[in-house]
Amino acid sequence: MALKIVWSKRASFKFDQIISYLVDKWGEKSAKQFIGRVFDFLEILSEFPEIGSVEDKEKNIRGFTIVK
């Protein structure tokens, strides 16, 4: 059973800022590719929430690199 991904207000705001930056610096095509990669990854994450490297063991926070 897939888990539901919930974006915080801060995460949503930061994501929008990243997309705006990508559009300005790299163009709309690159921004769309990035968005696709992020949402593809989120689908995988919802199925396998334990993937990624542990960033904070006490808070169970994991880190990921989607695009270098």
Tens of pLDDT, residue by residue over 37-46, are 999 999 999 9
- Give pTM, 2 decimals: 0.84
User: Are the beta carbons of 65 and 22 closer than 8 angstroms?
Assistant: no
Which pLDDT value is given to residue 23?
Answer: 98
11: nearest Cα among 38, 43, 46, 45: 38
Residues 1-58: pLDDT tens digits?
Answer: 789 999 999 999 999 999 999 999 999 999 999 999 999 999 999 999 999 899 999 9
Structure tokens at 13: 């705001």
